[in-house]
Each structure stands twice: as C-alpha cells, then as structure tokens.
Amino acid sequence: MNQTERPIGVFDSGVGGISALQAMIRTLPQERFIYYGDTANAPYGTKKTEEVIACVERVTKHLLEKDIKALVIACNTATGAAAYTLRRELTIPVIGMEPALKPASEIRKTGDILVLATPLALHQEKFNRLMEKYGEGAVRVPCTGLMELVEQENWDGARKYLQEVFALYNLKKVDAVVLGCTHYVFLKKMIREMLPEHIVITEGSAGTARQLKRVLARGKILRETGEGSVELETSGPESELEKMRRLLNRLIPE
C-alpha cells in the first residue's frame, strides 16, 4: 500500500485517548485511524514505569502489524514512559502528548496553575522538565481514581470527585487548570461549570493533532483526498467498543 494511504495508529490505556482521536479527526478528516484502547491493562497512571513500558511495547507491536504510517501515544503517562525509546527504535513518526502547561503558563498572571493528572505522569522526568521551563505557580494535583470514573462513565461520581478536589484550593487565586490526562477532557464541560469564569482550562489534544499534521506533511505522507475512517479496537471486552463510540460522539460538536 502507498505509504500515504496507510492508517495512523493511536492508542491509550483505555478510552481517554478518544478525546485526542476526536481532535485528530477534526484536523485530519481524510486520514484513516486505528484506535486501540488497552482497557484490559488500564489504568497506566498507577502502574510502575516498567509495567507501562511493557504495555506500550505490546500495543505498539500490534499496531505495527497493521502497517501504520505513524504512531500517536494518546496518553500523557505512556508518552512520558516510552516515547523517547519508541522514537529511537521505530522508523515511523511517533507523536506523544504532554500536559498543556506551556499554554497555561502563557496566560498566567499571578495565580496558581492546577495541573490535574495521574500520579505517575506528575512524577515522570518528562513532566519535571516541563515544570522547570513553565512551572512557575504550577501545583501538581494527583487525581487517583478519576480516570477510572471516566472509564466507567460515572459522571456523577466524577462531579463529586472534582468538587472535593477544587474545594482544597482558593479558586480566586487560580489562573488556570491543566487537564493532564486525556480522560479528563471528557469532563471539560463539567469542570468549566465548576470554576470561576476567570480560570482558563488547557489540554493537549488540539496541539497533538496539529503536530501530527505537521509531521505527516513534512514527511510527505499527509492524506489530503478521499474519505477518512476510524477503526476501534480494545484489549478488553467487546462492550468497550460501544463505549468508545459513545464517547467519540460525546465530543461532537466540540
């Protein structure tokens, strides 16, 4: 198959990366995507780094067998654990994600930036480097269990969880909230309703989609004609596929 016509592999520990996939579909409507949710091994964010790397290697091997032309790690935790190694090992482009701390830092005045993410993502070297560059006023907010509530589509539970988290901070002194996990993007509207109007919410899906487009164009493998498509796969039960479809539709329109 002509390299331009080959699909793009996208994966996450579960359904969270569907939020990044939705942004990619909007940005690259002619592309063919294969999305793999490693639901049987979710969550990644509470695992040891070596366990996450093992999961990523297995999923990557599976997607490479699908003859993909690029790989998108639609997971902040997995990006921090394995992106560097994958870029050295693979001949295809590897696009990762990172908490959108830079854009939050650019709008910050004198208040705090709350960075919501999994415990592992907040303590990885990749995030530490981000903090060194853009972390003035940034506060790490580990959200153990929040990703699982999204996986369960437990929106009432997520609302209660977030209310308890935000109650710990003086929101009048917060300038931005960073959604540092792809799962949390499904809660963006809910979070917006909870926060004072002056607080800006940032997340990395749109930036990742734009970076993917730039990389494909640079490599002259951008598919610019024809109809795009999405194929959904999971390591979990078949019911996960229907959940993925529901969540993909939940984000349309943005």
* Token representation of residue 171: 């929101």
- Given a contact cutoff of 8 angstroms between Cβ atoms, the answer to whether 206 and 11 are in contact is no
- Helical (H) or strand (E) element with 244: helix 239-250
φ, ψ dihedrals at 138, nearest 5°: -80, 140
Nearest to 67 by CA among 1, 133, 123: 1
Nearest to 102 by CA among 142, 123, 129: 129
Give me the residue label for tokens 């049987």: 40
Nearest to 131 by CA among 144, 145, 121: 121
Q: Which residues are catalytic?
A: 75, 181
Point out which residues pair with 232 in neighbouring strands: 35
Q: For residues 78 and 89, give the distance between their C-alpha atoms in angstroms, rounded to a whole number.
A: 16
